[in-house]
């Protein structure tokens, strides 16, 4: 059995902590601009490699899963997919996908989006918010085929996942979409944008590039979704977002989704949303069904300890997080030499390589996926048995999003963090 450090169970996740210490991350500029690091570079995909992460309270990584009790109050939605006043074909596609009861974010937001209200949705990862905004927006398109909608996401993986879900809802409806992300030939996206598209889904950087080439004009696009907005701001996209929204009509429909709320996000909401309705369904920082623990190395070889863990049969589908792209790639190669089936995802891989690695992991073609934080948010990967923080996360928020890849859909998962 692997060696961990434990303490008595708790019924709820730890409160958010404040941090200090050796992070290179500097406070945001007073004008609300992009965060910068001590090397002067912007954040996000442009971050580069960090030095030591912020000093985190290790006790926040220890928390035992809580078994669901029968007497625990079950969420009862006010609405149902079957009773929604939406297009019949869309409703049939939803029901064929075996969507039964709405999640809290879906129950609270879908009726309001159908009414054309601006929304600020604060929800944990894995709560079904993609369907929460796609379903009413697809209905909007079906009511008026001349409508166009733009959806911004922080990473190409999340943008592609959104389009995949969109296609599953719009089968046989002749609704067209283009995904505009970096790492792929831009000329292909330009060609697709020259044809009719009801949905344009992309990352801020590539959308900006297409706009500057005068290929993409937003003058007549009256609906925008900002998904994982806090992550986009963390990645240094705030000025890109400001530019993109400034090119849209002043009267528009804006949907803003975030897992966390900060003063910068609040300022952005005030700047660009018109009397938004705030929906918060965040009940706790981490899922109750994630066992959280630490692996105290105590002088042991880190790679050897990881190999011993992965040799246990219960470690069937493991997502391992590293801090830098070079470190992730080195670790992947070392584990492969030890005989483990593994893939890696990081910023030095091109689009096709990243998608191939993710596909293999999703379809159980490999046991482990080793990644930087680019896959920590939003991605829906079934049956991840364990998340291992091989390197400490930069912040507690990063930790929350990393471990949120396991313990999904009412299943129990395990999150382990290596500490010296």
The whole-angstrom separation of Cα 1 and Cα 222 is 56
Q: What is the DSSP letter of 224?
A: E
Average pLDDT over residues 396-414: 83
> Which domains does the chain show, CATH number per domain?
56-68+285-419 (3.40.50.300), 86-280 (3.40.50.300)
pLDDT beyond 60 at 266: yes
Structure tokens at 42: 């912007």
Residue 284 has pLDDT above 90, yes or no: no
Q: What does the pLDDT look like over 213-262, one tens digit per residue?
A: 999 999 999 999 999 998 898 888 999 999 999 999 999 999 999 888 88
pLDDT of residue 350: 85
Banded pLDDT at 29 (limits 50, 70, 90): very low
Mean pLDDT of the chain: 83
pLDDT tens track for 329-381: 999 999 999 999 999 999 888 888 988 999 999 999 999 999 998 887 767 78
Q: What is the pLDDT of residue 287?
A: 60
pLDDT at 20 over 80: no
pLDDT at 378: 66
The per-residue pLDDT for range 38-96, each reduced to its tens digit, is: 333 333 443 333 334 446 777 777 777 654 444 346 788 899 999 999 999 999 999 99
- Residue 283: phi and psi, rounded to 5, are -110, -25
* Alpha carbon of residue 152 to chain centroid: 12
Asked if residue 318 lies in contact with residue 367, where contact means CB atoms within 8 angstroms, the answer is yes
CA-based radius of gyration for the chain: 21
Tokens 């200090």 belong to 20
- pLDDT tens digits, 139-169: 999 999 999 999 999 999 899 999 999 999 9
Bridge partners (DSSP) listed for residue 318: 368, 386
pLDDT at 198 (0 to 100): 97
Where b means 16+ CB within 10 Å and e means fewer, 349-365 reads: beeeebbebbeebbeee
Q: Which residues of 319-335 are buried (b: 16+ CB within 10 A; e: fewer)?
A: bbbbbbbebbbebbeeb
Output the DSSP codes for 236-258.
Answer: T-HHHHHHHHHTS-SS-EEEEEE
pLDDT digits (tens, 9 = 90+) for 98-145: 888 899 999 999 999 999 999 999 987 677 899 999 999 999 999 999
State pTM to two decimals.
Answer: 0.69
pLDDT for 164-215, tens place per residue?
999 999 998 999 999 999 888 899 999 999 999 999 999 999 999 999 999 9
Q: Say if residues 249 and 225 touch (Cβ distance below 8 Å).
A: no
228 versus 409: the higher-pLDDT residue is 228
- pLDDT at residue 55, rounded to an integer: 63
Predicted confidence at residue 9, as pLDDT, reads 38
pLDDT at 51: 36
| pLDDT tier, 286 (very low <50, low <70, confident <90, very high otherwise) | low
Backbone angles phi, psi at 349, to 5 degrees: -90, 145
In 10 A of CB 153, how many CB atoms?
A: 29
Cα gap 35→294, rounded to integer Å: 30
Nearest residue to 257 (alpha-carbon basis) of 385, 78, 131: 131
**Could you give the CA distance from residue 21 to residue 364 in angstroms, rounded to a whole number?**
39
Query: What are the contacts of 107-111 at 24+ separation with CB within 8 A?
Result: 107/77, 107/78, 107/79, 108/279, 108/281, 109/133, 109/136, 109/279, 110/79, 110/84, 110/135, 110/136, 111/79
Contact residues for 133 (Cβ-Cβ < 8 A; gap 6+): 109, 113, 151, 225, 227, 255, 257
- Map residue 32 onto helix, strand or coil: coil
Indicate if the alpha-carbon torsion angle 237, 239, 244, 246 is positive or negative.
Answer: positive
- Report the 3 state secondary structure along 357-398: HHHHHHCCCCCEEEECHHHCCCCCCCCCCEEEECCCCCCHHH
In this prediction, residues 293-322 reach a mean pLDDT of: 94
Closest by alpha carbon to 413, among 315, 280, 295?
315
């Amino acid at each position: 059995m692997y060696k961990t450090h434990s303490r008595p169970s708790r019924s709820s996740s730890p409160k958010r902590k404040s941090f200090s210490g050796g992070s290179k991350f500097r406070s945001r500029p007073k004008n609300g601009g992009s965060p910068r690091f001590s090397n002067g570079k912007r954040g996000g995909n442009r971050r580069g490699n960090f030095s030591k992460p912020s000093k985190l309270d290790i006790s926040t990584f220890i928390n035992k899963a809580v078994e669901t009790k029968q007497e625990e109050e079950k969420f009862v939605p006010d609405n149902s997919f079957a009773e929604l006043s939406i297009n019949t074909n869309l409703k049939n596609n939803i029901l064929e996908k075996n969507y039964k009861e709405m999640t809290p974010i879906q129950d609270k937001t879908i009726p309001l989006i159908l009414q054309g209200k601006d929304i600020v949705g604060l929800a944990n990862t894995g709560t079904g918010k993609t369907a929460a905004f796609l379903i009413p927006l697809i209905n909007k398109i079906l009511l008026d085929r001349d409508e166009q909608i733009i959806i911004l996401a922080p990473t190409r993986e999340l943008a592609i996942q959104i389009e995949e879900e969109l296609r599953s809802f719009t089968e046989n409806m002749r609704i067209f979409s283009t995904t505009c992300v970096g790492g792929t030939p831009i000329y292909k996206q330009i060609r697709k944008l020259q044809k009719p598209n009801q949905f344009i889904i992309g990352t801020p950087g590539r959308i900006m590039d297409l706009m500057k080439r005068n290929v993409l004009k937003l003058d007549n696009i009256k609906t925008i979704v900002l998904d994982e907005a806090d992550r986009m701001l963390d990645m240094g996209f705030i000025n890109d977002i400001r530019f993109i929204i400034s090119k849209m009509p002043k009267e528009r429909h804006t949907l803003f989704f975030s897992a966390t709320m900060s003063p910068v996000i609040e300022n952005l909401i005030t700047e660009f949303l018109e009397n938004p309705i705030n929906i918060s369904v965040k009940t706790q920082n981490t899922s109750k069904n994630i066992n959280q623990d630490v692996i105290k190395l105590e002088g042991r070889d880190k790679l050897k300890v990881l190999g011993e863990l992965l040799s246990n049969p219960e470690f069937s589908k493991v997502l391992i997080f590293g801090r830098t792209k070079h470190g992730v790639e080195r670790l992947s190669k070392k584990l492969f030499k030890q005989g483990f089936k593994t893939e890696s995802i990081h910023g030095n891989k091109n689009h096709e390589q990243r998608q191939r690695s993710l596909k293999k992991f999703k379809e159980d073609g490999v046991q482990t996926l080793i990644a930087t934080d680019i896959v920590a948010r939003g991605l829906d990967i079934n049956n991840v048995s364990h998340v291992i923080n091989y390197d400490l996360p930069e912040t507690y928020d990063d930790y929350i999003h990393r471990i949120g890849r396991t313990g999904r859909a009412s299943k129990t998962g395990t999150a382990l963090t290596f500490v010296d």
